[in-house]
A = this chain, B = another copy of it.
């Protein structure tokens, strides 16, 4: 489904360099980091960057897929080790923290959560939705979460809480507080 031919060696090299540099650049300058600058820092021409990643979104996604997959995997891990309610609380906390910590990931997760989003972010969106679905269903089955909630609602609201927490610049404790408040509203 991906490539018929394997990538040429130089192409693969550049691809990975770009990814590494991009992650640094986004972390440093936020999601608005200059793409030409990223290309330059990776020692390639801008043409090369745009060939590999046609849009900023595409690069953003590629740079953070692993991080997002890790968050999704974490959901399952928590789901196995904690009772459903606590697993959900903890996951939402980590999700929000991650969203804020990695500057630029917010825009990415936002579009991953949006329905009918760009094809580029589908992979991420699917992982997150899958992870959310499992935790949400478990919590609902255990009777600790309202039954009228869809997983997508939970993801959207988490995104909202992350945004809200971000407005309280520098106060790290606020995330847990706001997640806590949100969850009281979502309890069964």
- Residues of A whose CB lies within 8 Å of any CB of B are 110, 113-116, 152-153, 156-157, 159-165, 167-169, 178, 181-186
Contact = CB atoms under 8 A, between A and B. Distances in A.
Contacts of A115: 168-169
A16 to B, nearest CB: 32
Contacts of A184: 184-186
20 contacts: A113-B167, A114-B167, A114-B169, A116-B169, A153-B178, A156-B164, A156-B178, A157-B161, A157-B178, A159-B163, A159-B167, A160-B163, A160-B164, A163-B164, A181-B186, A182-B185, A183-B185, A184-B184, A184-B186, A185-B186
Given A113-B167, A160-B164, A160-B178, 7 more contacts: A153-B178, A156-B164, A156-B168, A159-B164, A181-B182, A183-B185, A185-B186
The complex is assembled from copies of this chain, and their number is 2
A116 to B, nearest CB: 8
The CB with the most chain B CB atoms within 10 A, among A156, A159, A167, is that of A167
A148 to B, nearest CB: 9
Contact of A157 (B113, B114, B181, B186): B181
Contact of A167 (B156, B182, B185): B156
